[in-house]
Amino acid sequence: MNVLFKLLPEAVWVDDRSDKPAILAAIAERFASVYLLDRQKVLDALNEREALGSTGFGRGVALPHARIDGLTRPVAALLKLSAPVDFAAADRLPVDLVIGLLSPVNAGATHLHALAALSRMVRDEVMHRALTSATDTETLYALLTNAADRDAA
């Protein structure tokens, strides 16, 4: 597993959520169940960050992220949407790939490095195409963890 963030297979799934609040709630629920975190704290932190400006990264990708208590290292979750959803992204394109990142409150540079690694991955044209065309959780998990491991090396 890479050194920048932890991603468990159970934190990768395909869903048919159809609006931004439902997506953030689903991400919070998955973070809570997989990483044993408080769902409401996670949702509050994600919504607080989203209120500062959309985490819609562009090209159909959103990177909702926050720092919360109860973590010792950054953790990630990946949600592939069945259909694109408006996420108020800067490029105005709807989102169908949502990669959540939570880091410890005091993570500082560690949080930024993990966020930058995810950003680089989804900016890579080959990786972007592979992630957006993948239809099952096993493929999505393998793509993200293999790319993260390469990035961390």
Burial class of residue 83 (count of CB atoms within 10 Å of its CB; 0-12, 13-18, 19+):
exposed
Q: How far apart are CA 7 and CA 12, in angstroms?
A: 8
Predicted pLDDT at 147: 73
Predicted pLDDT at 153: 47
Give domain limits for the chain.
9-152
* Assigned CATH class of 9-152: alpha beta
Indicate the pTM of the whole model: 0.93
Give the single-character DSSP code of 60. T
Alpha-carbon distance values, 111 to 22, 61, 108 (Å)? 25, 19, 6
What proportion of the chain, given as a percentage, has pLDDT over 90? Answer: 86
Q: Give residue-wise pLDDT tens across range 59-93.
A: 999 999 999 998 999 999 999 999 999 999 989 99
The pLDDT confidence band at residue 127, using thresholds 50, 70 and 90, is: very high
Q: How far apart are CA 96 and CA 106, in angstroms?
A: 30
Which residues participate in catalysis according to the annotation? 65
